[in-house]
Chain A
């Protein structure tokens, strides 16, 4: 991956990203805090050490300078006292000699002598002997002190010009007395460049050592926190995977420390979870298998009964009336039993998750037409007219036609059964994301409480009502499963006295999410027609 210089936006996001790291990473937080605290501690220690070393260095150098200068001054004074000169040139020479010896004995090239002002000028005294480096740095304040201080030593920190810049230095001043010439101020300058260098070196060393120490501590903290955090991280990851359904996952158990015991108890928990889930899964599988097996086992005797029933039913003309009616009842109930068994099997297939969608391009309008034609006779027997209204939906949509036909037939059957002989309107329409079909009846409708239960298995709106079409009580439950299998919706609206409306919505493209259904569920004023006096607001909807 090529490195890309972060854009301004990226820079702007840096603080928030750091804040995110701070919040989310224990490791980052711990290391940052450790670095901050140790850094502060080392900084304080380092500053203290640097200051005390610099003080110490300066003090010792000062002491040395004072001793040195005192010795040199004493020697010079005694040389002067011992000499006996009174003429002009001799005095000048004498001062030169003395200053040279001072220069030699103090190893300082910076020596200056000034005649203390205010003395008798009549004497031909030797003139000032300054040095260019010293003249500028000796302050009037120091000079005044030396002039009035007698034999005492005075000193001053100065910046000695050296090369292009300045060096730190000390100037020590005292008085010299030239016999018969008068008093002179003697100044000796000491360059502290060496000490300054030593100090800089020490400070640099301290700085480097401090930084190295901070980094080292940071690294150590990082490693230690990693040691501690890593097992926690493993535990977190493992529990995530466990929660996601990977029941076999475990934390590796190593050693005998607290993490090993964490791992052991976690694994114990996972074991018991796994065994319980497996047990439940086995139970549920067993139950589904049992339902499926029972259904299958029932089929062979049912086939025999059905064949026998049909043979008897075919000959009912020749029976006495009671027997003939018995044959008829036998026949219809065997058929009902047959349907019940198929529905039970279908539901058990859904429960077992063994249902596969066998989709092929199908035209929902054509499918609705076929279903309407199929059930027209039954509807007419119940006095209901079946009306198909299809403003849209004339194109192929991937669906399992067998299942969708079953859903539509089932919705139609329910509408006819509960339609009270009023028309049943089937509407098909489409939008950009879905096709939908509604089956609207104007029968007795259902209360809100009942509406919430229509998709329940074996649920009946009114147990006392007769069932003319002999539904199994599983029809809507299966229809709902069928719709869900297509990633579709099956919804109901119902209002007592106003009838019901069931809406099936299927995605136009398999697996694509439906944004909105093309048909409205609750009746609108200009829509499928609301019976007089009904109020749509009292209707209740159930979404599945």
Chain B
């Protein structure tokens, strides 16, 4: 199955070049140059992943990201020229799964895309896990509290699953970056922080007093005890 990838970038040369790289790797790229039309193209093309430039004419990348997130959990990788600005954090907070700083190399890009498209690491200990008062249905890719289903993006699901599958273990941010994001070297730990916040906002009864994703001060995170 060919994965379809939506490239939202106003720089046509770059978009075309990314398209060439993606095609070489066996992906099916779809293009959009304007932020304002990005959502339409997204709806009509139903991509498996979105590459989104942060600075776009029409509607800026963060806004586009927000709107896509409002209706879908499709993985989003931001492309940005500035790694040091608040834009990156804003982009992550609005739901982007990962980001890449220009100029990136093609192998890195493809690796990031594959990590996000890859199904959750197989070999879960069982089909169903319990975290706090939540039930994680591994096979069905679903999280439930009682009968209510909680909608998580694939990344958030992976994050929760990684924590829940080893409830005794404390995960450092670096471990999570490797396991969930596929980084094998030191990367930006803001990715973890922002996505833990987003996950908590969805799964915790009281995000200020988390019971599912617990912070271990100075180390990292671990799953809450089964209720």
Bound CA span A228–B104, Å: 70
| Nearest CB of A to B221, in Å | 16
Q: Is B145 an interface residue (CB 8 A)?
A: no
Out of B20, B81, B84, B105, name the residue touching A300 (CB < 8 Å): B81
State whether A299 touches B102 (Cβ < 8 A).
Answer: yes
Chain B stretch 177-212: residues in CB contact (< 8 A) with chain A:
186
CB nearest neighbor in B for A356: B84
State whether B81 touches A401 (Cβ < 8 A).
Answer: no
Residues of A contacting B20 in the complex (Cβ-Cβ under 8 angstroms): 307, 311
CB nearest neighbor in A for B82: A296
State whether A299 touches B81 (Cβ < 8 A).
Answer: yes
Residues of A contacting B217 in the complex (Cβ-Cβ under 8 angstroms): none
Q: Is B107 an interface residue (CB 8 A)?
A: yes
State whether A354 touches B81 (Cβ < 8 A).
Answer: no
Residues of B contacting A354 in the complex (Cβ-Cβ under 8 angstroms): 84
Q: Is A250 an interface residue (CB 8 A)?
A: no
Bound CA span A401–B173, Å: 14
Size class of the B contact interface (CB-based, 8 Å)? 20 to 34
Binds A, one of B11-19, B70-78, B89-97, B117-125: B11-19
Out of A301, A338, A341, name the residue touching B13 (CB < 8 Å): A301
CB nearest neighbor in A for B15: A304
Residues of A contacting B109 in the complex (Cβ-Cβ under 8 angstroms): 307
Bound CA span A71–B102, Å: 131
Q: Is B140 an interface residue (CB 8 A)?
A: no
State whether B11 touches A300 (Cβ < 8 A).
Answer: yes
| Nearest CB of A to B104, in Å | 7
| Nearest CB of A to B192, in Å | 13
Q: Is B103 an interface residue (CB 8 A)?
A: yes
Q: Is B106 an interface residue (CB 8 A)?
A: yes
Q: Is B214 an interface residue (CB 8 A)?
A: no
State whether B106 touches A300 (Cβ < 8 A).
Answer: no
Bound CA span A300–B14, Å: 7
Counting residue pairs across A and B whose Cβ atoms lie within 8 Å, the total is 55
Q: Is A306 an interface residue (CB 8 A)?
A: yes
Bound CA span A405–B102, Å: 22
Q: Is B225 an interface residue (CB 8 A)?
A: no
| A308-323 to B contact mask, C-beta < 8 Å, 1/0 | 1011000000000000
Residues of A contacting B30 in the complex (Cβ-Cβ under 8 angstroms): none
State whether B84 touches A307 (Cβ < 8 A).
Answer: no
Residues of A contacting B151 in the complex (Cβ-Cβ under 8 angstroms): none
A306-B82 contact, Cβ under 8 Å, with A300-B14, A311-B20, A401-B186: no
| Nearest CB of B to A400, in Å | 12
What is the total number of residues of chain A having a CB less than 8 Å from a CB of chain B? 22
Q: Is B21 an interface residue (CB 8 A)?
A: yes
Bound CA span A308–B81, Å: 18
Residues of B contacting A338 in the complex (Cβ-Cβ under 8 angstroms): 103
State whether A306 touches B105 (Cβ < 8 A).
Answer: yes
| Nearest CB of A to B184, in Å | 13
Residues of B contacting A311 in the complex (Cβ-Cβ under 8 angstroms): 17, 20-21, 24, 106
Residues of B contacting A299 in the complex (Cβ-Cβ under 8 angstroms): 81, 102-103
Bound CA span A304–B79, Å: 13
State whether A306 touches B103 (Cβ < 8 A).
Answer: yes
Out of B17, B81, B82, B105, name the residue touching A304 (CB < 8 Å): B17
Q: Is A302 an interface residue (CB 8 A)?
A: yes
Out of A296, A307, A310, A402, name the residue touching B81 (CB < 8 Å): A296
| B117-151 to A contact mask, C-beta < 8 Å, 1/0 | 00000000000000000000000000000000000
Out of A305, A310, A341, name the residue touching B107 (CB < 8 Å): A310
Q: Is A303 an interface residue (CB 8 A)?
A: yes
Bound CA span A300–B101, Å: 10
| Nearest CB of A to B79, in Å | 8
A303-B102 contact, Cβ under 8 Å, with A296-B81, A308-B17, A311-B21: yes
| Nearest CB of A to B97, in Å | 20
| Nearest CB of A to B19, in Å | 10
State whether B105 touches A310 (Cβ < 8 A).
Answer: yes
Q: Is A349 an interface residue (CB 8 A)?
A: yes
| Nearest CB of B to A346, in Å | 9
State whether B17 touches A307 (Cβ < 8 A).
Answer: yes
Bound CA span A369–B53, Å: 37
CB nearest neighbor in B for A354: B84
| Nearest CB of A to B27, in Å | 14
State whether B21 touches A307 (Cβ < 8 A).
Answer: yes
Residues of B contacting A300 in the complex (Cβ-Cβ under 8 angstroms): 11, 14, 81, 102
Q: Residue among B18, B21, B103, B106 with the most chain A CB within 10 A?
A: B103
A and B contact pairs by CB, cutoff 8 A, 19 listed: A296-B82, A300-B11, A300-B14, A300-B81, A303-B103, A304-B17, A305-B103, A306-B103, A306-B104, A306-B105, A306-B106, A307-B21, A307-B109, A310-B21, A311-B17, A354-B84, A361-B218, A401-B186, A402-B186
Task: Give residues in A with beta carbon < 8 Å to B.
Answer: 296-297, 299-308, 310-311, 338, 341, 349, 354, 361, 401-402, 405
Apart from A301-B14, A341-B103, list 9 A-B contacts with CB within 8 A.
Answer: A297-B81, A303-B102, A303-B104, A304-B14, A306-B103, A307-B14, A307-B18, A402-B186, A405-B186
